[in-house]
Amino acid sequence: MPGHASFAAADLEDTVNASDLEDLIGYNLKRAYVIVQTDFRDTLGEDGLSARMFSALSLTVRYPNITQSELAKMLGIERSGLVAIVDALEEKKYLARAAVPGDRRVQALVPTKKGAKAYGEAVAAVKAHEDRLFADMTKTEKETLLGLLRKIRRKEAKA
């Protein structure tokens, strides 16, 4: 038990059972996020895809010819921040920046065959990681959690 640096003052710790911190959604959300994110990295990690790269690639596969601005908005990050992610994916030959006839400003992102394949494998690995990590939850619990998290996501400050 903490708070007992040998000369231990006040033993009111057991009296106080309102933990504040532990009852906050934000704090628990953060701690849970760190755990999941760490496991993700340990799974996909070591020259695999980072979470950022995975999510960017995922949307590129699902929405081929998506614009960088559109992608950034969907990911909830700034355009400037996306550049490095797309650079990394392009360097791995997982996608390409393609010129768009109509508008010479935009660069459409299109996954390569290699990228589509790598994404398929990554998805499998990620699903295995979640299956394993949340093995002690029932399907209902997972769906409930997902629903509640999405409910929070709806509060997102819109541009």
Partner DNA sequence: GATTTTCGTTACTTCGGTAAACAATTAAAG
Partner DNA sequence: CTTTAATTGTTTACCGAAGTAACGAAAATC
Residue 115 and residue 124: Cα distance in Å, rounded? Answer: 14
Kindly state whether residue 105 participates in binding DNA, applying the rule CB under 7 A. Answer: yes
Site string for DNA, 54-83 (x = CB under 7 A): -------------xxx------xxxxxxxx
Q: How far is the CB of 82 from its own copies (least distance, A)?
A: 13
- For every residue of the chain, which 3-state class applies, written as one string? CCCCCCCCCCCCCCCCCCCHHHHCHHHHHHHHHHHHHHHHHHHHCCCCCCHHHHHHHHHHHHCCCEEHHHHHHHHCCCHHHHHHHHHHHHHCCCEEEEECCCCCCCEEEEECHHHHHHHHHHHHHHHHHHHHHCCCCCHHHHHHHHHHHHHHHCCCCCC
Kindly state whether residue 52 participates in binding DNA, applying the rule CB under 7 A. Answer: yes
Kindly state whether residue 112 participates in binding DNA, applying the rule CB under 7 A. Answer: no
Residue 114 interacting entry, from DNA, its own copies, none, C-beta within 5 to 8 Å by type:
none
Place of tokens 């400037």: 80
Kindly state whether residue 149 participates in binding DNA, applying the rule CB under 7 A. Answer: no
Of residues 27-46, those binding DNA (CB under 7 A):
30, 34
Of residues 5-24, those binding DNA (CB under 7 A):
none
Residue 96 and residue 28: Cα distance in Å, rounded? Answer: 39
Q: How far is the CB of 99 from its own copies (least distance, A)?
A: 10
Site string for its own copies, 111-140 (x = CB under 8 A): ------------x--x---x--xx-xx---
Q: Near DNA by CB under 7 A, which window of 20-28, 100-108, 119-127, 141-149? A: 100-108
> Using CB under 7 A as the criterion, which residues of the chain lie in contact with DNA when the complex forms?
30, 34, 50-52, 67-69, 76-83, 86-87, 97, 102-107
